[in-house]
Structure 1
């Protein structure tokens, strides 16, 4: 038999160490299960599809100081110059860079702002007819902007009449799925939906609706302008190295700042999430190691206290396997109680995170998997010292100490 009762009696006689280990296992289970769940949530967030060929795209900002310059004409010349660079697929002026954490958003509604009605939050990019190709995004339905529909102006006295939106935004505006050809309002300005684009993310991955994106054919002619360039992926670094010189050669009275790849923009924007993920992984490893060492240490301590007892049992004919089994069962009993307590604490902690920090609800699968992992780790931590105890010679173990 498994001799459960003698093991219980032994634990009750020296309960301080067992209680400390039980608490340690409970704390590890509670924290690790929540940390593992949050880490998986961050991994999913960081690895989500953005809709862009990030390794092909880079962006920069120009600041022009020539007051006599015809900015509209110069921007058109600049775009043409960039597109003529070898290995550049396309280039376009934008008001904001996707995934950068800085952009513009507003409400699109089925009624003008002068009338009451619900609106849908959407990020918007102001760009010309080259926007979709520059971003590497295709149309699912409809058509692209015509050049005559694009407005380049220093003011918004005249506003475009058309827009291209993502499928997610279209379904939120028109749940029946017939957004193409419909009219929505950006403030009081009516915009006809002429195209439905593939999924793409806004400037903010952490936005409540990052898939709601609208492209409006408007380019603001100002001294401060963002430019996005798409290249052959293997040539992006080389082109980025020479882009500043090319831009200065094109017009000397401007400064180039913020030159960076889209993947770098995304990484910078997600820096806090990457740091959190690393800290969580470190926390999980440290807690598991500490728990394993605690179990190992308690087992070694118990063995040292029971050397004489173990030797006596061996002299009376107890097998080595029985000695190992004894310590495994003793540890398993402590571990089970600790896991039950830790699982309850994990669920309670997950509920607190949900209520106070808007974290996702803890999946009980992570609690069960953590409990299983801790249980296996705890048993493995006992094997070596228990095996060592079983190999003690009865003649040595029963000597007076």
Structure 2
């Protein structure tokens, strides 16, 4: 284009403003592309399927203070009382609540000590034969626990001998053969896999293997217990309101607390991630606005310095569209150089974030999308000043000659 050379010469004569804008575009692109990638990653994390009907499940905790109470019998009575409520599908005692950010995990091995074999970390849930129905888990192989396989005890000496695993854990532990019927080892304990269920997530959604879960048929009767309840649709709130009175009528020397839906537990667990995502959105908006204002201001500055030049071109027959095109191309030229530098800076920043914060590697898709957005934004920001330049009348512009 014949106008490129005078554009470059004009920019070189006022290179400080052009260089500052170029640097601003580069830094904005680097930050925006990485921030957008992090937002996309957080959205995928926040919206990942969990395998639960979160709106139909709730949990609560019980703290018992009566030293003479038989906890095994009392918890059995509690489950029976809850099941009798209209709208309750099932209830199970457990050692942790899914999606809550708090739970227990251990390494599961394919061979006993000292060989150990393949070792895989998994969240383990101590529960009963009602757990799968309570959680809405789907068996894809094998069977559920039988009632006689469930150990009800207030000590950990009498351990179970069977287990149910998620398909994710089964495939990682036994990648080349079916896991059903195999034996896994937790320390000195040997557990035969009698069932495999479809994917459900454990307590930590940000874990590298959130769907590695193993169920032990062990109801550990401690003074503090946790229960999970599944209800019929639209009856959860009603049943949650009845729980405290129902259990205190059975045994008054205890406290019932943290009665909350599974979706509420998940929201509390993910609150920090949602806050980070909102902060990144605000950061992107602020940076883009500041850069747009920088482009707008530089274009206005260039126009004010070139009023006589613009008027002379208009007097020589330049059309308004040619003046607009000139300033748009000039800004696109500066923005393009900044975008090229910013793309390299974005990948470098992405590598640092991946190393320091263990984030996934930045995709070029986000860099290209951000670059396209920045180029369009620069043209939009320069459009109004360019229109103003095009409206300069030759007679006014040349009056100072």
Structure 2 CA distance for partners of 1:289 and 1:2, relative to 1, 3 Å: farther
8 Å CA contact retained: 2:90, 2:133: yes
Name the SS for the 2:371 alignment partner.
helix
Q: Distance in 2 between matches of 1:352 and 1:115?
A: 39
2:14 is the counterpart of 1:14: yes
Deviates more, 1:60-69 or 1:109-118: 109-118
Query: Separation in 2 of the partners of 1:277 and 1:2?
Result: 46
Paired residue secondary structure (2:399): coil
Q: TM-score, normalised by structure 2?
A: 0.97
Match of 2:330 in 1: 330
Deviates more, 1:298-307 or 1:322-331: 298-307
SS of the aligned residue for 1:217 comes to strand
Alpha-carbon shift at residue 207 of structure 1 (Å): 1.7
* Contact 2:110-2:116 within 8 A present in 1 as well: no
Aligned ranges 1:66-77 → 2 under 5 Å: 66-77=66-77
SS at match of 2:20: helix
Give the match for residue 400 of structure 1. Answer: 400
Equivalent in the alignment of 1:92: 92
Match of 1:44 in 2: 44
Q: Is the 8 A contact 1:114 1:188 kept in 2?
A: no
Quote how far apart the aligned CAs of 1:114 are: 4.3
Secondary structure at the aligned position of 1:399 is classed as helix
Tell me how far 1:250 sits from its aligned partner. 2.3
1:2 Cα deviation (Å)? Answer: 4.2
Tell me, in whole angstroms, the C-alpha distance in 2 between the residues paired with 1:305 and 1:215.
75
- Inter-partner Cα distance in structure 1 for 2:301 and 2:232: 64
Rounded Cα–Cα distance in structure 2 between residues aligned with 1:116 and 1:169: 17
Deviations 1:243-286 (A, max 9, x none): 21222122211101211111111111122211111111111111
**Structure 2, unaligned stretches of length 5 or more?**
none
Taking the aligned partners of 1:21 and 1:341, their CA distance within structure 2 comes to: 12
Aligned partner of 1:381 in structure 2 is 381
* Deviation >6 Å, runs of 4+: none
8 Å CA contact 1:170–1:177 kept in 2: the answer is no
Residue in 1 aligned with 2:342? 342
Match of residue 269 from structure 1: 269
Retained in 1: the 8 A contact 2:118–2:173? no
Q: How far off its partner does 1:208 sit?
A: 2.3
Partner of 1:180, secondary structure, is coil
Trace 1:2-401 onto structure 2 (pairs within 5 A).
2-400=2-400
| In structure 1, distance between residues paired with 2:374 and 2:349 | 18
107-116 vs 310-319, which deviates more? 107-116
The count of residues paired between Structure 1 and Structure 2 equals 401
